């Protein structure tokens, strides 16, 4: 999403939200207006009924109490007097009922007027809220259309793209590092196994070398003893064959060939096992 399309989408969303809110407020105002009209019609009907009742009450008051007719035969006719008394009672009941109905109508009228006033106040509040919404919409449109806001949005979009690219790189590096760590761990485990096996082999070789060195020392001591014995035997034989002067000379200065022959002793190389002991000039 480019920097040019982002403000357009934001403006479209803001316009749709504003239109929905205006429609809701208009619908609420229309409902309230219909209710106000109904209440006014009811008030008018009640006012008409109250006026009719007042007219009837005034007519009844203007007529006044029914005069009693004094005829010579009135005392004798008790039924006519009873009828007149009954009519007077009916008229009094009608007056009381009319007064009660008037009081009830007044109470209903007051409640309807209070309700109407409250609804009118709500309509005024809705109109004020609608005006505030229009002002907010106009300020938001101005803020969106401003160049500074567009530059800020472009800067934020560039930063967001850079952060997404860095995140992708970090994810890829993390995956590759995990693979390398797994490979290195396998190599390290194999190397540790190899080192442990080599250490075991070295220990075994050292033990074999120590045993072979002991055997070689024993063999060397035995060879030296045999050389000493052979030298003593040869000196004795030469003393027996030659005179006493030459025997003393041989004891002090032995022959050169004999000394060189018995002086050559081969030692084994370290780490390759004990080599066979070789001597020159000795016949076993």
**How far, in Å, CA of 94 to CA of 104, rounded?**
15
Please give the share of the chain, as a percent, with pLDDT higher than 70.
63
Does a structural domain hold residue 124?
A: yes
Residue that wins the pLDDT comparison between 68 and 236: 236
Give me the pLDDT at residue 10, please.
Answer: 61
As a whole number of angstroms, the distance between CA 158 and CA 148 comes to 15
- Rounded to whole angstroms, the Cα distance separating 148 from 153 reads 9
Tens of pLDDT, residues 72-107: 444 545 565 566 667 667 667 777 777 787 777 778
Q: What's the CA gap between 186 and 260, in Å, rounded?
A: 61
- What pLDDT does 27 receive? 74
Domain membership flag for residue 245: no
What is the number of domains present in the chain? 1
Q: By residue range, what is the domain housing residue 47?
A: 5-69+76-145
Average pLDDT over residues 206-227: 92
Stated pTM of the model: 0.28
| Residue 130 belongs to a domain | yes
User: Which CATH number do you get for residue 128?
Assistant: 1.10.287
Q: How many CB atoms lie within 10 A of CB 281?
A: 15
The Cα–Cα gap between 201 and 280 comes to 37
**Average pLDDT score over residue span 232-255:** 68
């Amino acid at each position: 999403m480019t920097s040019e399309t982002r403000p357009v989408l934001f403006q479209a969303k803001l316009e749709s939200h504003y239109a929905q809110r205006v429609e809701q407020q208009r619908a609420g105002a229309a409902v309230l207006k219909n209710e106000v009209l109904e209440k006014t019609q009811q008030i008018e009907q009640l006012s008409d009924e109250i006026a009719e009742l007042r007219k009837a009450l005034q007519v009844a008051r203007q007529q006044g109490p029914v005069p009693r007719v004094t005829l010579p035969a009135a005392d004798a006719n008790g039924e006519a007097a009873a009828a007149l008394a009954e009519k007077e009672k009916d008229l009094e009941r009608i007056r009381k009922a009319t007064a009660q109905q008037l009081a009830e109508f007044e109470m209903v009228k007051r409640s309807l007027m209070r309700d109407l006033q409250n609804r009118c106040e709500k309509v005024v509040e809705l109109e004020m809220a609608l005006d505030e919404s229009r002002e907010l919409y106009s300020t938001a449109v101005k803020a969106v259309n401003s160049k500074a806001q567009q530059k800020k949005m472009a800067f934020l979009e560039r930063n967001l793209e850079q952060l997404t690219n860095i995140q992708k790189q970090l994810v890829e590096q993390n995956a590759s590092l995990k693979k390398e760590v797994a490979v290195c761990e396998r190599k390290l485990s194999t190397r540790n196994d190899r080192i442990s096996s080599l250490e075991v082999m070295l220990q075994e070789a050292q033990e074999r070398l120590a045993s072979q060195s002991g055997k070689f020392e024993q063999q060397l001591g035995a060879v030296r003893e045999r050389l000493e014995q052979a030298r003593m035997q040869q000196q004795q034989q030469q003393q027996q064959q030659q005179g006493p002067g030459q025997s003393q000379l041989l004891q002090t200065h032995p022959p050169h060939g004999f000394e060189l022959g018995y002086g050559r002793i081969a030692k084994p190389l370290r780490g390759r096992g004990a080599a066979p002991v070789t001597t020159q000039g000795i016949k076993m």
